[in-house]
Amino acid sequence: MADYKVNEVFESIQGEGAFTGVPSIFVRLQGCPVGCSWCDTKHTWTVDPEKQKSVEAVMAEQQESEHWFLLTPAQLISLFANKGYKAKHVILTGGEPCMYDLMPLTNALIEQGYSVQIETSGTFEVKAHAETWVTVSPKVNMQGGYEVLQQPLRIAKEIKHPVAMQKHIDELDQLLARGHHQSGVLVYLQPISQQKRATQLAVDTCIARNWRLSLQTHKFIGIE
């Protein structure tokens, strides 16, 4: 059975994209080489063996850290039950979750009646159950030097693109011009850091293209 390096697990409300407002269990996996400058989870980038701790120790932490624990899919599902989580939607995020083979984990979750969403940069192949909702937030020209791959775009149900300036819109146009995405894929623009200029650009572009606006609702209402 596969083991996964987990940075944190918590229950909250999804604040972004198509599932905004849906009660969700977030599973944040450790490790990401993409290197987005605006990333708000940089503590998940490095997998340091010295930072491994017990499940109990990491779950008891009250602030973000580089600590992680190792769990199998069955152990993770048991953790949900032990914590008394009620949500039936699980979001696999990171870090970059697709650094891992997510087929065993997504299979186990779906067999237990959960719906599953993956949030990925699109720079690694997605290995997951066919019913998984794949959200690609394409990261173009990041310091890690990784390219956005065709396979994640092809299976994505949702493309959620962070924008701060026009060049980010242009980058998305170039990705979509490749034609590797599904015809009915939902396209969201998400202003980086809720900047006023970025937000107006996103609003104007969404109206012009008939795309959708994604705001980080959880940050507005002060939840994790």
Quickly tell me which residue has 């015809």 as its tokens: 183
Closest of 129, 105, 135 to residue 117, by C-alpha = 135
Helix axes 166-177, 196-209, angle to 10 degrees: 40
Q: Is 40 annotated as a binding residue?
A: yes
Domain ranges of the chain: 4-221
Distance of CA 92 to the CA centre of its chain: 6
The answer on whether 98 is annotated among ligand-binding residues is no
- At 167-179, the pLDDT tens digits run 999 999 998 888 6
- Tens-place pLDDT, residues 101-118: 999 999 999 999 999 999
- The annotation status of 28 as a binding-site residue, yes or no, is yes
Q: Report whether 204 belongs to an annotated binding site.
A: no
pLDDT computed for residue 39 by the predictor:
86
For the 4-221 domain, the top CATH level (class) is alpha beta
93 is in an annotated binding site: yes
Query: Annotation-wise, does 73 bind a ligand?
Result: no
Largest Cα–Cα distance in the chain?
Answer: 50
Tokens of 220: 């507005």
Average confidence score pLDDT of the chain: 92
Least confident of 96-110, 120-134, 138-152: 138-152
